[in-house]
Structure 1
């Protein structure tokens, strides 16, 4: 499981850098300031969770069961949260109306929150004195 976690963390980090650079150089003149801020939020949260996956893949104190649950929550959470923000921020550049998928942004955020909560609970249980 650790290998999958580390690979996904690396992929999310790689794409966060690439998408962020694309936004800064290619999108900035084409979308509104507000849309650019939203896009940057998506990139930032993707990178935060890429780093979290790299940490989880390398630490002890988190059960394999919880690592697996956190892996899936972050996988779907980042895709829903950041992915929908990327689509919504660039909505004016396409003929597709991405506003219909706007409801998955908070769902993705909720999945990310649950991943952090499971990590917290795992630490509290693991390190009881």
Structure 2
């Protein structure tokens, strides 16, 4: 579980840096200011999750259910939240209707909140 958590943290951080660089340079030319701001929000939350998972990976006892639940919730929540924002940001440019992803974004955010709540329960025990 520790390897999964740390590897996921590294993948999230690496892709956030790559996407952030594209957002700061190449995507400025093709996305509106509003869409670029949304895209950057997805990148920020992905990086926040990467850093959190890195800290969790080195400091949590994964024998505890709440710790494992927190990691899975944060990972799944980040994927749903950030990836849905990425696709929604490019919907106009790609001329695709990704409106079905609209409800996925807050679901991802809710899962991240649940993950943090599970960590809080883990810390208070």
Question: TM-score w.r.t. structure 2 length?
Answer: 0.94
- Corresponding residue number in structure 2 for 1:21: 21
Distance in 2 (CA, whole Å) between partners of 1:35 and 1:60 is 37
C-alpha deviation, 1:95, in angstroms: 3.1
| Structure 2 residue runs without a partner (length 5+) | none
- Corresponding residue number in structure 2 for 1:67: 67
Task: State the aligned residue count.
Answer: 125
Distance in 2 (CA, whole Å) between partners of 1:16 and 1:44 is 8
Distance in 1 (CA, whole Å) between partners of 2:124 and 2:52 is 18
Conservation of the 8 A alpha-carbon contact between 1:77 and 1:109: yes
Q: Which structure is higher in helix share?
A: 2
Q: CA 1:60–1:74 in 2, change beyond 3 Å: closer, same or farther?
A: closer
- Corresponding residue number in structure 2 for 1:88: 88
Question: TM-score w.r.t. structure 1 length?
Answer: 0.91
RMSD over aligned CA atoms reads: 1.3
